[in-house]
Amino acid sequence: MRIHSSARVLLLAFLLLALSAASFAQVSIAIHIGPPALPIYVQPPCPAEGYIWTPGYWAYNYDYNDYYWVPGTWVLAPQPGFLWTPGWWGWGGAAFIFHEGYWGPRVGFYGGINYGFGYFGNGYQGGRWDHDRFFYNRSVNNINVTNIHNVYNTTIINNTVVNRVSYNGGNGGLNARPTPEEEAAERERHIGPVAAQTEHMQAARSNPELRASENHGRPPIAATPRPGAFNEHGVVPAREAGAPYNPANRGEGGQPGQHPANYVPRPGNPVHPSDLPPRERPAAPNTGDAQRDQKYQQQQEKLFAKQDQERQKLQQKQDQEHQKLARQNANDARNQQVEQRHQQQTQQ
């Protein structure tokens, strides 16, 4: 049986959604432009025993067609013995995809990205569990020994090339590949981000200052002492951007439900009417019969106006759906479903 090319695209999209529901190393969203470089910042002090550092990262918001920074923060481990594997961006051959982080008995693959503070591209050198107590490596963590006594000092020789690249593969990305041990870690029992991490990400998503188009790769809130503590004492701003920020082909942000002039749609065909190329008015005919030419021109203008009105109505309807999703704080899977439906509507 021959499957039409558009059907193959939709089938692949549904398969990706099914895979994302079945695996924590999931494909959350896919775009064409890689995230900005990782900003440079210091780590706030660990608030108490049992908290493990989760590094900051760039997430993506389709409502604003822009990356936004999710600040690094200390998170209470969901259970003794569990460590955090950071999420990471990677080139999937046609678009950048995000692999969500997870908690598990050992650290898996996270793209070879040097997030710092013990996450130097492979494994975690920031601490270790001893039965039900976590011991912190003071050489890579900001630990107040007055409050936390289970510490040790092990100097880490970081052989990774020091850069601020925030994605794997693609143009300018890292070339790391998972080891057999890292692949095994991904297959082991693990859980996704805890509720505090999800709320932390949602708070970052709703903060305009954390959008890359606003902070140019230098977020004013780079790290927090606890999840969601954006306004508390101990919040750390970025000292500088990891590299000059150039939002090429991404535009300069926008308003909810709108896309800038340089909006980059998902892989494949245009997603929204605003992504379609500008329409040209029909050229005036010249058959030598002025009356016939005038009648034909009037018909073409009427058809053009009708089609333009239909395009505007569809765009307004899709904008309203974007705004509704934003108010509901819809998850990535829901956003993808709506965007797929928008693409079908636009194609039709």
138: number of Cβ within 10 Å: 16
The pLDDT value given to residue 15: 39
54 or 157, higher pLDDT: 54
Return the percentage of the chain with pLDDT > 90, whole number. 49
The pLDDT value given to residue 167: 94
Which range in 66-75, 237-246, 324-333 is most confidently predicted, on average pLDDT? 66-75
Mean pLDDT confidence for 319-328: 80
* Calpha distance 88→121 (Å, rounded): 11
pTM over 0.85, yes/no: no
Mean pLDDT confidence for 182-200: 92
Mean pLDDT confidence for 324-329: 80
Which range in 6-15, 26-35, 141-150 is most confidently predicted, on average pLDDT? 141-150
16 or 73, higher pLDDT: 73
169 or 245, higher pLDDT: 169
Among candidates 213, 208, 220, which has minimal Cα distance to 248?
213
Q: Which of 121-125, 312-316, 333-337 has the lowest mean pLDDT?
A: 333-337
The pLDDT value given to residue 247: 65
Mean pLDDT confidence for 160-168: 78
Residues in Cβ contact with 278 at an 8 Å cutoff, skipping those fewer than 6 apart: none
Query: Mean pLDDT, the chain, as a whole number?
Result: 80
* Calpha distance 75→128 (Å, rounded): 15
* Calpha distance 85→190 (Å, rounded): 10
Question: CA torsion angle for 46, 47, 50, 54 (degrees, to 10)?
Answer: -50
Residue 54 · residue 185 · CB < 8 Å: no
CA distances from 266 to 35, 201, 315, 319 (A): 15, 22, 16, 16
* Calpha distance 174→120 (Å, rounded): 13
The pLDDT value given to residue 249: 39
Q: Which of 85-99, 200-214, 233-247, 286-300 has the lowest mean pLDDT?
A: 286-300
pLDDT exceeds 60 at position 296: yes
Residues in Cβ contact with 89 at an 8 Å cutoff, skipping those fewer than 6 apart: 34, 35, 58, 96, 97, 98, 99, 111, 166, 167, 168
Alpha helices per DSSP H over the chain = 5-22, 180-187, 195-205, 212-215, 290-328, 332-347
Mean pLDDT confidence for 146-154: 93
pLDDT interval class at 78 (50, 70, 90): very high
pLDDT exceeds 80 at position 304: no
Mean pLDDT confidence for 226-239: 94
The pLDDT value given to residue 117: 95
pLDDT interval class at 266 (50, 70, 90): very low
pLDDT exceeds 60 at position 251: no
pLDDT interval class at 288 (50, 70, 90): low
Residue 95 · residue 32 · CB < 8 Å: yes
116 or 294, higher pLDDT: 116
pLDDT digits (tens, 9 = 90+) for 30-53: 577 889 999 999 999 999 999 999
